[in-house]
Amino acid sequence: MRAKKPEVKEKRLKMFIYGPAGCGKTLSAIQFPNAVIIDTEKGTDFYSESISKAGSVVFQSNDPEEILDEIQGLLTTKHEYKTLILDPVTQIYNALQEKWNRIFEKYATTEKEKEVQDFGMRYWGKVKSQYKRMQRLLTKLDMNVIATSHQKDVYGANFSKIGTTYDSMKGEDYFFDIIFQIEKRGDDRLCKTIKERAEIGGHKFPEEFAWSYKNFCDFYGKDILERESTPTPMATPEQVQKLERLVKVVNLDTDIIVKWLTKADVDSTAEMTSEQIQKCIEYVEKQLAEINPAPVSNGQAAPEAVKEAIKGKGGK
């Protein structure tokens, strides 16, 4: 049995906040110091002085690929930043839909399909797959993550309004540990706790509180929020190439590769951490050793394909 008693782990903050236009979502998020702000709708243009005082930096883009590259850089590089702010993720999700709209429209089989743009499950599968890739990187990232979102109305029978919710990918609320709804009342900015993962009786936040970074530190812990980030070594191109060669030589069962990807929660071996892919390499090398257990002692050289797979091209 591989089950064991759980260890107490202090997770990085993974927080989602939403609210109506003008409630101060961006202003609330940028109160966190030493942040990298990925600004998808140029909302930070109004707060340059506050951002500079907080020791934060801004990257303005709503290009999904550029945003993924930026997160990948934060994940693998040593830096002084403590928090990543995605403001708002609504625009990232919209940009992904527009990207795949263009692709599916280009290859639409009929004019009606192109005009209606009802591309079905394959289309939504592509959108969600790329969005989930971003979420997987955020899970590995040793930084606080704050995502803001637009708010939208929820309608019931006869188009009657029954409430409000966030405007992003369906199921977004499952990814984040803490969700707040922000609203403005007079000069105050109040925060409603919509969700908080915690032990029974161990919640850190009240049902409602006045938003400020100081209050947040009092509830959550300043030492946790402001600790240094540690880079995560990811699979190198050399590791990926070596594993590919080994897999071909051994003719590894596809089910095993699928099992690896599922366990690592990735779409390809290139998305694995260095530690994860190294375990896969060692597994296949063990299979090779069993195929050719004693290439020298019995006087026979290892097959050329095996030697090449073990050493890599150029004998490296």
Kindly give, in sequence order, each residue whose CB lies less than 8 Å from that of residue 183, ignoring residues fewer than 6 positions away.
19, 20, 23, 189, 190, 192
On average, the pLDDT of the chain sits at 87
* Between 99 and 187, the higher pLDDT residue: 99
Whole-number pLDDT of residue 315: 44
Chain mean position to CA 286: 33
Tokens of 108: 């639409």
Whole-number pLDDT of residue 4: 84
- CA–CA gap between residue 73 and residue 137 (Å, rounded): 10
Share of the chain above pLDDT 70, in %: 88
Whole-number pLDDT of residue 314: 42
pLDDT band per the 50, 70, 90 thresholds, residue 312: low
With the C-alpha atoms ordered 196, 202, 208, 212, is the resulting torsion angle positive or negative?
negative
Kindly give, in sequence order, each residue whose CB lies less than 8 Å from that of residue 14, ignoring residues fewer than 6 positions away.
138, 139, 144, 145, 175, 176, 177, 178
The DSSP-derived string for 166-193 is E-SSTTHHHH-SEEEEEEEETTEEEEEE
CA distances from 183 to 25, 202, 207 (A): 9, 25, 14
Domains of the chain: 14-225 (3.40.50), 237-315 (no CATH)
pLDDT at 306 over 70: no
Chain mean position to CA 86: 11
pLDDT at 275 over 90: yes
pLDDT band per the 50, 70, 90 thresholds, residue 299: very low
Share of the chain above pLDDT 90, in %: 65
- Crossing angle of helices 120-140 and 64-76, rounded to 10°: 20
**β-strand pairing of 178-185 with 14-18:** parallel
Q: Where are the beta strands (DSSP E) in 94-220?
A: 144-149, 151-155, 161-166, 178-185, 188-196, 208-210
Average pLDDT over residues 47-51: 94
With the C-alpha atoms ordered 148, 226, 144, 82, is the resulting torsion angle positive or negative?
positive
Lowest mean pLDDT among 135-149, 199-213, 242-256, 284-298: 284-298
pLDDT at 255 over 80: yes
Whole-number pLDDT of residue 105: 83
Whole-number pLDDT of residue 10: 75
Strand partners, 229: none
Average pLDDT over residues 13-28: 93
- CA–CA gap between residue 40 and residue 68 (Å, rounded): 13
